[in-house]
Amino acid sequence: MRPPEAAENAGRGVHSPGRATIEQRHLRTDRWWVPQLATALGLLAFIGYSTWRAFFGVHTAYAAPYVSPFYSPCLAANCPAMNGGADWALFGSWWRLSPALIVLIFPLGFRLTCYYYRKAYYRSFWNSPPACAVAEPHAKYSGETKFPLILQNIHRYFFYFAIVVAGILTYDAVLGFRDAQGHWGHMGLGTLVLLVNIVLIWAYTASCHSCRHIVGGRLRHFSKHPVRYKLWTWVGKLNARHMQLAWASLISVGVADLYVYLLASGAFTDPRFF
């Protein structure tokens, strides 16, 4: 057991009694705050854009044959005509808010509880800690053992929802090989935009730590499970690029939605290749 004084001083941060006394907040000479600032600005920009589109983009969420990833699948009766898209309308006419608010719960929950994004916004917004070898300003630290941060532990469950959402967006990307009249065998610039977006979304989803654990994290003998071991190595390679894939897929989702918005608002006509 720890002595009483150790228990009393636990959780009081780096300046608690018993810790080494260092007057400087850090000894770093580089611009350690630049990545945190860039991360904060990038996340704030996406939050602002996605909030605007989620609340006010219902009338520009569809531009035949493309569907905005913010509004797919359609789960409310007040969605625009999807022309063959995933139109389930589980919520009737009583739902008055934007239908995107129903859909975005799942990818938002997946990213909000993601191991990389935790590091990103913990450092950028909460200074917990601001950076490696930089003292955090908080006097106490409880980790993710109390509400609301204990909810971060449901990340593995959001992973399952993320698989479903990625599957639906894959279906939407396939629908991009039609023209405005619904005829197959056509391809436009929007088709490529949706294809790139879904490839990055799948790569980000598959690179998740939960996916790596599900594939092979609990195996005791890889030699007895060669297929799962091979999958585990592939996911491990993606996992090494989890941060880059997180940002790339976040940007691609915004670009895909912006492209559909510009088409729906009449800013330009979708260039068709064939």
Among 27-31, 156-160, 174-178, whose mean pLDDT is lowest?
Answer: 27-31
Overall average pLDDT of the 133-142 stretch: 79
Res 6: pLDDT? 47
Decide which of 8 and 74 is more confident. Answer: 74
Q: Is the pLDDT of residue 71 over 70?
A: yes
| Ranges 93-102, 137-146, 197-206, 228-237, most confident | 197-206
What is the pTM (predicted TM-score) of this model? 0.87
SS (H, E, C) the chain: CCCHHHHHHCCCCCCCCCCCCCCCCECCCCCCHHHHHHHHHHHHHHHHHHHHHHHHCHHHCEECCEECCCCCCEEECCCCCCCCCCEEEEECCCCCCCCHHHHCHHHHHHHHCCHHHHHHHHHHHHCCCCECCECCCCCCCCCCCCCCHHHHHHHHHHHHHHHHHHHHHHHHHHHCCECCCCCECCCEHHHHHHHHHHHHHHHHHHCCHHHHHHHHHCCCCHHHCHHHHHHHHHHHHHHCCHHHHHHHHHHHHHHHHHHHHHHHCCCCCCCECC
Q: Is the pLDDT of residue 2 over 50?
A: no
Q: Is the pLDDT of residue 14 over 80?
A: no
Q: Is the pLDDT of residue 257 over 50?
A: yes
Tens digits of per-residue pLDDT, 79-110?
765 544 555 677 877 888 888 888 899 999 99
Give me the chain's average pLDDT, please. 87
| Structural domain boundaries in the chain | 30-134+141-264
Decide which of 174 and 87 is more confident. Answer: 174
